[in-house]
Structure 1
Amino acid sequence: MRISTGQMFHQNTSSILQKQTATNKILEQLASGKKINTAGDDPVAAIGIDNLKQKNSLVDQFVKNIDYATNHLSVTESKIGSVETLITTMREQLQRGANGSLSQNERQMIAEEMKQSLEELLSIANSRDESGNYLFAGTQSNTLPFEFDSNGEMIYSGNSDVRKSIVASGVTMGTHVPGDTVFMNAPNPLGDYGVNYLASQQGDFDIHSAKITNAGAHVEDTYTFNFVDNAGVLELQVADSTGTIVTTVPNFDPTAPVTVNGIEVKMSGNPVAGDSFTMEPKSSVSIFDSFKDAIALLEDPNAAATQQNSSKLAQLLNDIDSGQNQVSLARGIAGNSLKALESFSTNHAEEQIVNNSALSLLEDLDYAEAITEFEKQQLALNAVSSVFGKVGSLSLFDYI
């Protein structure tokens, strides 16, 4: 078979170019440390590599979100912990100030201490994060969440919504706890109504509960309970906000519950004729209002000498305990979220290890194998080039 000079040159040139291409490819692999640098190197493996990198990018974003949520929840949990400590201190101050043996000046000094503590409590409730957003304002992070109005009542201007962060596929978690959950929505320890004891109280009695037990018969209103003397027998008359008598209990027994328009009221102690108290709807208590009322009680120069002091003190302590339990519950929410975030973070770290291991198998270069292959290709290229050089220099005139 005859081979033309053109064919010989074409075949040898093609062979040299192929060897050079193969050598250059290995050089690229050695430089990058990857055996697949383009989709053309291995289309199937390239798709797998691309999918794994996308997964890792998504996991990286989840990890960033978790770090953000963890930082904010850690600050929130710490602030709530400070609130718990402060509430305990203020409760002790109230109990110390309620001691009947103290002078009014001493009670006033304790009241001043509690005012400072209340200001500190308000400062914590209005804390900001590193971006200047209010921690306890819900999603209205640019709005001052807590302030007292002109009547001395605490107003919450935030909302109950929670800023959330995506921490895993289909999973979102709150990055903070709304302020009303922490400071405002403690359950009323009495139930559904709050009690106002009057300064004229002479008997020693307390209201233990005021709950709606018959929703169908319930009429929401402000009720006044009057104890009257009826021919030497104590009688209870309950009037609504218009002054109309809605319930009369002759021969009143303080150990027996009283039912008024679907509301069951339980009390203990010994009221006397002339005593009176009012009830109004109240499903929750605010730790701020509880301490505000406690300070007012200590500052009242006449409260220490009345039975009202004992009854109101018992109610305030119950309200404060309910508020502290609510704060502890909010701290538990933050703590449980932090624990869940830690679990998600661990899962993501394990997922990244698996993904990176699979990526390594698909794209990482075996340097020993690559160097061996490079030397083989280099040897082959040298051989082809040498043969081409010798064959290309042959001439028929050399044999004549």
Structure 2
Amino acid sequence: MRISTAQMYNQNISSLNKNQTQTSKLMDQIASGQRVNTAGDDPVAAIGIDNLTQQNSLIQQFQKNINYANQHLSLTESQLGDAETLSMSIRDRMLAAVNGTYTDDERQSIADELRQSLDQLQTIANSQDEAGNYLFAGTKSDTQPFAFDNNGNMVYSGNSDVRTALVAAGVAMPTNVAGAAAFMNAPNAMGDFSVNYSAVQSGDFSVTSAKITDPTSYIPDDYSFNFLDNGSGGIDVQILDGASNVVKTINNYDPTTPISVNGVDLTLNGTPSAGDSFSIQPQSTTSIFDTVQQAITLFEDGDTINTPAGQSQLAQLLNNFDSGVDQIRIGRSQAGTSLSALDNYASNHSDTELVNNSALSVLQDLDYASAVSEYQKQQLAMNAVSTLFSQVGTVSLFDYLS
């Protein structure tokens, strides 16, 4: 077989190019520290690397969301803790005002302290994060949620929605507690109604429960209850609707038996006297702000606080205040529960990322010892081919003719 000079040159050049390509690939691997730099290096491994890299990118985004949620929930939990502590101080002052030996000036001083505490509680409820977003405004984070109207009643301008962050596949965690749930919508301690006592009350009693027990027979209305001397040594209860029509009369009222009317049951503590009366209005929830405001008004009225009606009203306010504090505690507990769950998700993500990185290392990391050894072999082979090519290239037929 005859080999032409051109064929010999092409074969040697092709061999040199092949060695140079392999050497260049090894140099790239050594420089990057990675065995697979392109899909062509190892197609199967490249697919696995791409999948693991995408998983890690998603985990990193989840971790950022968890950090955001952690930051806001920690601030929320802290503010609700401050609100709870302040509420306990308010309750102590409310109980102190019950003291019958206090003068009007002393009660006014307590009322002034309560007003300052109420302002502090409102400030907490209007807390903002580092970006100026209101923590307790629901999803209306750019709107101040709490303000008193001209009648001294608290108005909530936020909503009941919560902001969420995606912390795992298909898992969205709340990042705040809505102010309506934390401060406004505490269950009425008595049930479904609030009570107004007559200023001329003489009997020592208070309503402890007023609930709708039979919704099918309940007729919504404001009801009044009058205790009348029946002339036989007992008391009758006359029940009127909002239009002052007699709805029901209970003869020889027994204080140990609940009063029932139109699907509503009322339980009283104590014994009413003839001439006493009270009325009820539908109210299923209370606001801790309004409860404190009503207590301030009561304490500033020195003629009422020491009367049986004033004491009954104060008992109702204290029960509603306790319900409001419980609502704050529930909100704080929700924040704490979410923080605990976020810690678990963060730990799981860290474990998954560690496993992914270990798998990536197996697929992608370069064995430097083997790579350097292979590089040296390629260099030696390329030098040999180059030397041989230079020697063959100088061979001439004329060197053998003489």
TM-score range (shorter-chain normalised) is over 0.9
Task: Please state if 1:212 is matched with 2:212.
Answer: yes
- Report the counterpart of residue 170 of structure 1 in structure 2: 170
Count of residues in Structure 1 that have an aligned counterpart in Structure 2: 400
What TM-score results when the alignment is normalised by the length of structure 2?
0.98
Q: How much has 1:252 moved relative to structure 2?
A: 1.3
- Report the counterpart of residue 354 of structure 2 in structure 1: 353
Structure 1 unaligned regions, length at least 5: none
Contact kept, 8 Å, 1:199 with 1:303, in 2: the verdict is yes
- Report the counterpart of residue 343 of structure 1 in structure 2: 344
- Report the counterpart of residue 394 of structure 1 in structure 2: 395
Query: Residues 132-171 of structure 1: matches in 2 within 5 Å?
Result: 132-171=132-171
SS in 2 for 1:76: helix
Question: C-alpha offsets along residues 181-204 of structure 1, whole Å, 9 cap, x if unaligned?
Answer: 100111111111111122221110
Contact kept, 8 Å, 1:156 with 1:180, in 2: the verdict is yes
- Report the counterpart of residue 95 of structure 1 in structure 2: 95
Question: C-alpha offsets along residues 121-168 of structure 1, whole Å, 9 cap, x if unaligned?
Answer: 000101111111111010111111111111111111111111111000
Q: How much has 1:362 moved relative to structure 2?
A: 1.0
The alignment-based identity, stated in percent, is 55
Distance 1:306 1:249 in 2: 26
- Report the counterpart of residue 246 of structure 1 in structure 2: 247
- Report the counterpart of residue 223 of structure 1 in structure 2: 223
- Report the counterpart of residue 303 of structure 1 in structure 2: 304
Root mean square deviation, CA, Å: 1.0
- Report the counterpart of residue 45 of structure 1 in structure 2: 45
Contact kept, 8 Å, 1:196 with 1:279, in 2: the verdict is yes
What TM-score results when the alignment is normalised by the length of structure 1?
0.98
Distance 2:343 2:30 in 1: 39
Runs of 4+ in 1 over 6 A off after TM superposition: none
Question: C-alpha offsets along residues 36-56 of structure 1, whole Å, 9 cap, x if unaligned?
Answer: 111111122111111111111
- Report the counterpart of residue 258 of structure 1 in structure 2: 259
Q: How much has 1:324 moved relative to structure 2?
A: 0.8
Question: C-alpha offsets along residues 287-339 of structure 1, whole Å, 9 cap, x if unaligned?
Answer: 11111111111111102331112211211111111111111111110000000
SS in 1 for 2:332: helix
SS in 2 for 1:159: coil
Q: How much has 1:375 moved relative to structure 2?
A: 0.4
Distance 1:192 1:273 in 2: 26
- Report the counterpart of residue 318 of structure 1 in structure 2: 319
Contact kept, 8 Å, 1:191 with 1:209, in 2: the verdict is yes
- Report the counterpart of residue 7 of structure 1 in structure 2: 7
Distance 1:154 1:199 in 2: 26
SS in 2 for 1:359: helix
Distance 1:304 1:365 in 2: 84
Contact kept, 8 Å, 1:98 with 1:107, in 2: the verdict is no
Q: How much has 1:230 moved relative to structure 2?
A: 2.0
SS in 2 for 1:254: coil
Structure 2 unaligned regions, length at least 5: none
> Relative to structure 2, which stretch is displaced further, 158-167 or 389-398?
389-398
SS in 1 for 2:291: helix
Distance 1:391 1:304 in 2: 120
- Report the counterpart of residue 189 of structure 1 in structure 2: 189
Q: How much has 1:31 moved relative to structure 2?
A: 0.9
> Relative to structure 2, which stretch is displaced further, 35-44 or 65-74?
35-44
Distance 2:392 2:306 in 1: 125
Q: How much has 1:233 moved relative to structure 2?
A: 2.7
Q: How much has 1:356 moved relative to structure 2?
A: 0.9
Distance 1:77 1:198 in 2: 41
Q: How much has 1:372 moved relative to structure 2?
A: 0.6
Distance 1:320 1:372 in 2: 80
